[in-house]
Structure 1
Amino acid sequence: MIKIFNIGTLFLATLILYSCSLFSAGHIQPIKEVTTELISTTSNSTVNLDHSQWDKLLKKHVNEEGFVNYAGFKKDVALLDSYLNLLSKNEPNKTWSVQELLAYYINLYNAGTVKLIVENYPIKSIKDISRPWGKNRIAVGDNTISLDTIEHDILRKMNEPRIHFALNCASISCPKLLNEAFTASKINEQLERATKEFINGNKNDISASNPKISSLFDWYKKDFKVNEKTDVIGFINQYSNVKISAEAKISYMKYDWNLNGE
């Protein structure tokens, strides 16, 4: 009886701790789904946040290929901190549009990733850092959340698969870091650009019959849908210059986790 009680108590304590961690990890953040074709606009939100600080840093320290000058970012860490502080002080709420929320959380993820690298620079890979995605490091209002929370518990729940090509994980095989900030006024065009560039770039080797594609399409397979059904080939073919045959056998490319530094 004592053993059963101890196991039950341990399970209950674990459940309580897990629930608390979910709350503190950002599940109180507002989430809105993209329910129709996404249109870039600032007219449907109570807030139009100014991301120009981040835009200037990106234009200064990220080249057209998406390679990042982390040494330069380190010198400008005060400006990076100022931008992250701006985001923290402007915590999203339910009156924000889906466009504003997408821009906010994509920029927060990318700026938070750059800050993480800068804090540990010089470094060979983000995976050399302890729990780079799982540890709560990023302030949003009174909460501290993780990169995983932003990606999996907020952005992936917004029903916009193109976010996978906007988020940069500071690695060679990741979608490139755009050298401009995402904004509600350009969000659809920016997501479209990021998706087309990633699919048609060197992170994939697409052919009609023997396509080798990024492991992102394997890890997040269920997010890539056509007509409400999971269809990785169909999704890629919407953007690819080379169309993959429906009968083609897909293979996935090895992911290069080396730092995407200049």
Structure 2
Amino acid sequence: MKNYFFSIFLFLTYALTAQNNVDYIKTSQDLLTRIVNGESYEEEISILEKSTLTNLLTQLPKDKHKKAFWINIYNAFIQIHLNKNPSLFDDKGSFFKTKRIKIAGEILSFDDVEHGILRKSRCKISLGYLRKPFRAKWERKLRVDDIDWRIHFVLNCGAKSCPPVAIFSLDNLNNELDYMVTNYLKQHTTFNKENETASSSALISWFRGDFGGKSGAREILKNYGITPTKPKKLKFNDYDWTLYLNNFKELPKNLN
């Protein structure tokens, strides 16, 4: 009997140690890589399902870790669920708020990941100005300390106007985000030199508080070289919600 319990103890110790040794950011990258290549991703799903809050808190101590991991996770599971059942996109409100991602002992929705973790518990329909009070413990622990407006140009929700899906790393995250932001805004922004009016993505309008309001957004367009000067006026394009999956973009290897 003692040998039996000792064996159980050894097995549990091994299992716990193995899970603690998992590189979760790499797992998020591997998951997306397998999706892009059309390969099986069940192993990565299993690893994520077995993760704990302690596991993630240990490996995602700073905002850069959290962004690299959760952006990949969000984009991966969008592709997984909508490729399996495209009709889920017919009711977009339900799709984004339904719990679908099993991770860290919880089942999260896409809204939980985007607005709870990556946008620091911001209300979804407050233009980025209001924060939700009384959030769950896991959300308060996992969420970023500071909102990075660039996430809006790297999260792919499955629509045609969404940014393409890239696989983000920890070591070069800042340059990768800037690269994707610049590419997206160049494609979705026009500038009228005569009246100095820019027309850009509706994403800026929906979350304008994250950008520092319209003035902050106009400054961003100038600083990123999207417009030659800071626009005097900023208008927003219509958003194409047509379902558009497998829109992948490979990041250049040497970004600096």
TM-score bracket, shorter-length normalisation: 0.5 to 0.7
Distance 2:34 2:66 in 1: 21
Matched residue of 1:241: which SS?
A: coil
The 8 Å contact of residues 218 and 252 in structure 1, kept in 2 or not, is answered as yes
User: How far apart, in 2, do the equivalents of 1:57 and 1:206 lie?
Assistant: 39
1:80-111 per-residue CA deviation (whole Å, 9 max, x = no partner) reads 34323333333411552322211111111111
Question: Does 2:200 correspond to 1:216?
Answer: no
1:114 aligns with 2:114: no
1:236 alignment counterpart: 221
* Partner AA of 2:220 in structure 1: F
**CA deviation map 1:96-130 (0-9, x unaligned):** 23222111111111111111202214x5x824456
**For the structure 1 residues 207 and 56, does the alpha-carbon distance in structure 2 shift closer, same or farther, using more than 3 Å as the test?**
same
In the alignment, is residue 160 of structure 1 matched against residue 148 of structure 2? yes
Tell me the secondary structure at the aligned position of residue 260 of structure 1.
coil
With over 3 angstroms needed to count, the CA separation of the structure-2 counterparts of 1:211 and 1:53, relative to structure 1, is same
Equivalent residues of 2:51, 2:105 under 8 A apart: no
Partner of 1:84: 45
**Aligned counterparts of 2:92 and 2:119: Cα–Cα separation in 1:** 24
Amino acid at match of 2:221: I
- CA displacement, residues 221-262 of structure 1 (integer Å, 9 cap, x when unaligned): 010139xx9611012222133235442x22211110111247
Is 1:57 matched up with 2:27? no
1:48·1:100 contact (CA, 8 Å) conserved in 2? no
Match of 2:60 in 1: 96
Relative distance call for 1:88 and 1:238 in structure 2 (3 A) is: farther
Task: Tell me the residue number matched to 1:22.
Answer: none
Separation of aligned partners in 2, 1:134 and 1:258:
19
Q: How many residues align?
A: 193
Deviations 1:52-104 (A, max 9, x none): 523433543xxxxxxxxxxxx5xx4xx23432333333341155232221111
Larger RCO (CA within 8 A; separation ≥ 6): 1
Q: Does 1:175 align with 2:138?
A: no
Please identify, of 86-95 and 46-55, the stretch whose mean Cα deviation from structure 2 is larger.
Answer: 46-55
Give the match for residue 197 of structure 1: 183
Gap runs ≥5 in structure 1: 1-45, 61-72
Partners of 1:115 and 1:239 in 2: CA distance: 32
Does residue 1:250 correspond to 2:234, yes or no?
yes
Three-state SS of the structure 2 residue aligned to 1:83 is: helix
Which amino acid counterpart does residue 194 of structure 1 have in structure 2?
M
Is the alpha carbon distance of 1:205 and 1:103 closer, same or farther for their aligned partners in structure 2, counting shifts above 3 Å?
same
Q: Secondary structure at the match of 1:109?
A: helix
Aligned-residue RMSD, C-alpha:
2.7
CA contact (8 A) 1:105 1:150 kept: yes
Identity in percent:
23
What amino acid is the match of 1:217? Answer: I
For structure 2, list consecutive stretches of 5 or more residues without a partner in the other structure: 1-21, 121-143, 247-256
Q: Any conservation in 2 of the 1:109–1:150 contact (CA below 8 Å)?
A: yes
Whose helix fraction is larger, Structure 1's or Structure 2's? 2
